């Protein structure tokens, strides 16, 4: 039985059991990952997964789950076990019936043949990364990974959707070390771009080399240039705050904002971009089979959209934006509009400030006010009178997200497609100059 037939049978059985809404999304993924440490391959893995995500409702009671594919093959047993839970489950405050599908049927391909070929033998890409890491600078060692995948997504719903989408992707990042200096860069895409992969190694090693001889810096208020890695990560936080469920639960800086309110500098435009074919999470349809479309979240500093599935849209008296998640709406990809500066020109605009190239451990102390902190990692540089004067270390950005958004005063022309473990929503980002940022020390 094919995967699509298996999904169709599950929907039929669930309806026979008395469930009113049924959806099943089966992801079949072939994946190849090579990790490297000490400037040599350390682990090479190749595996295939087949996982079924299911959504069921009976009345206003909702059930979701993730199961191995063999569980779905025995649909009667699985549905019987779930049926026993119906009386114990409360009605959902966010219930809405599954919508009529905006995408009803078809096969959609976002496959790059170059990635498919590279999955057969990724050694050439690993060699490219490792060779480039020491091409321009003598580096002590590097670590990182390259991850390649081919995913086939089958979505079947009780409202009549039977859709298949196949896509490829690549994600890579490298961290390089030289004496006490370190640097990191990353890249992700739907398509294989050897020059961008090579750039990851070149940038990581350059940052490591240039950040040798670090010293401390005094806490205070600084103008800060955020690299695409850092700006992407903070804009990931903002994008999740722009979802309907985050707003409804009070975990958002937008809980008291209306569409059209100014929430950021007029320089900032950030888009949810599910139709950008180069970014890894591009897709034609969401988990409710609603057609996706590109849309601004913030445009020229104004709040333009809250991201919805059908459930949160009903609470807001509006329509789905094609961002389902059956429970939590989600951004697909983020595209941040660039500006008019080269990086060197942004640096020249800073009298006293910092260039922060990487960050870890972002934590929110107050979601509604956007009070957060994040630790600067790897290469950090002190800027005085428009030029970099020395590498520094052990800084923490401790501020409010709304103030950071409103204090953006410059964006670079060039943008970078970023994804790594701190940036899980793929993001195309420029460098960003932010005025008057609170900087403290950390001792981790």
Per-residue pLDDT at 369: 99
Q: How many CB atoms lie within 10 A of CB 296?
A: 17
CA pair distance 210, 216, nearest whole angstrom: 16
Q: What is the pLDDT of residue 444?
A: 61
Are residues 101 and 161 in contact, defined by beta-carbon separation less than 8 angstroms? yes
Strand partners, 37: 40, 143
What HEC string does 304-333 produce? CCCECCHHHHHHCCCCCCCCCCCCCCCCCC
Q: What is the pLDDT along the chain (444 residues), one digit of tens a residue?
A: 899 999 999 999 999 999 999 999 999 999 999 999 999 999 999 999 999 999 999 999 999 999 998 888 888 999 999 999 998 999 999 999 999 999 999 999 999 999 999 999 999 999 999 999 999 999 999 999 999 999 999 999 999 999 999 999 999 999 999 999 999 999 999 999 999 999 999 999 999 999 999 999 999 999 999 999 999 999 999 999 999 999 999 999 999 999 999 999 999 999 999 999 999 999 999 999 999 999 999 999 999 999 999 999 999 999 999 999 999 999 999 999 999 999 999 999 999 999 999 999 999 999 999 999 999 999 999 999 999 999 999 999 999 999 999 999 999 999 999 999 999 999 999 999 999 999 999 876
What is the sign of the dihedral through the CA atoms of 288, 290, 293 and 298? negative
The confidence score (pLDDT) of residue 4 equals 94
Give the pLDDT of residue 443: 73
Give the angle 417-308-4 at the CA atoms, nearest 5°: 80
User: In order of start, what are the domains of the chain with their CATH numbers?
Assistant: 3-208 (3.30.2290.10), 213-235+338-441 (no CATH)
| CA-based nearest residue to 147, from 128, 170, 125 | 170
Question: Among all chains, which residue has been given the structure tokens 């057609």?
Answer: 291
Q: How many CA within 13 A on the CB side of residue 19?
A: 30
Cα separation, 333 vs 351, in Å, equals 34
For the whole prediction, is pTM greater than 0.85?
A: yes
């Amino acid at each position: 039985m094919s995967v699509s037939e298996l999904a169709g049978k599950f929907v039929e059985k669930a309806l026979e059991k008395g469930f009113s809404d049924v959806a099943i999304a089966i992801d079949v993924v072939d994946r190849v990952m090579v990790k490297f440490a000490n400037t040599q391959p350390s682990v090479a893995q190749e595996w295939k997964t087949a996982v079924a995500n299911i959504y069921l409702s009976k009345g206003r009671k909702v059930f979701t789950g993730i199961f191995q594919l063999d569980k779905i093959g025995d649909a009667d047993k699985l549905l019987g076990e779930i049926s026993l839970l119906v009386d114990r489950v409360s009605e959902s405050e966010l219930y809405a019936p599954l919508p009529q599908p905006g995408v009803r049927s078809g096969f959609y391909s976002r496959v790059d043949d170059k990635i498919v070929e590279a999955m057969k033998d990724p050694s050439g890409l690993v060699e490219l990364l490792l060779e480039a890491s020491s091409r321009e600078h003598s580096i002590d060692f590097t670590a990182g990974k390259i991850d390649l995948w081919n995913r086939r997504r089958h979505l079947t719903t009780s409202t009549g959707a039977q859709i298949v989408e196949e896509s490829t992707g690549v994600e890579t990042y490298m961290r390089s070390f030289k004496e006490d200096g370190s640097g990191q860069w990353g890249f992700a895409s739907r398509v294989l771009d050897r020059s961008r992969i090579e750039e990851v190694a070149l940038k990581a090693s350059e940052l490591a080399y240039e950040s040798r001889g670090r010293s401390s810096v005094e806490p205070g208020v600084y103008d800060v240039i955020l690299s695409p890695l850092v700006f992407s990560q903070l804009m990931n936080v903002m994008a999740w705050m722009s979802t309907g469920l985050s707003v409804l639960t009070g975990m958002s800086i937008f809980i008291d904002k209306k569409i059209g309110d100014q929430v950021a500098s007029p320089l900032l435009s950030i888009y949810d971009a599910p139709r950008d074919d180069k970014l890894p999470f591009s897709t034609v349809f969401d988990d409710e089979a609603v057609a996706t479309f590109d849309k601004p979240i913030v445009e020229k500093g104004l709040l333009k959209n809250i991201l919805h599935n059908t459930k949160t849209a009903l609470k807001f008296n509006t329509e789905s934006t094609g961002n389902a998640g059956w429970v939590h709406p989600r951004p697909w990809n983020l595209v941040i509009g660039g500006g008019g500066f080269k990086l060197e020109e942004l640096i020249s605009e800073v009298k006293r400030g910092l260039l922060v190239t990487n960050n870890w451990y972002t934590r929110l102390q107050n979601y509604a006010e956007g009070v957060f902190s994040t630790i600067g990692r790897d290469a950090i540089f002190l800027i005085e009178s428009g030029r970099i004067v020395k590498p520094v270390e052990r800084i923490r950005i401790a501020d409010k997200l709304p103030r950071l958004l409103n204090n953006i005063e410059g964006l670079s022309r060039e943008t970078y497609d970023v994804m790594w473990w701190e940036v899980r929503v793929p993001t195309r980002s420029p460098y960003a100059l932010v005025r008057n940022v609170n900087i403290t020390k950390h001792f981790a």
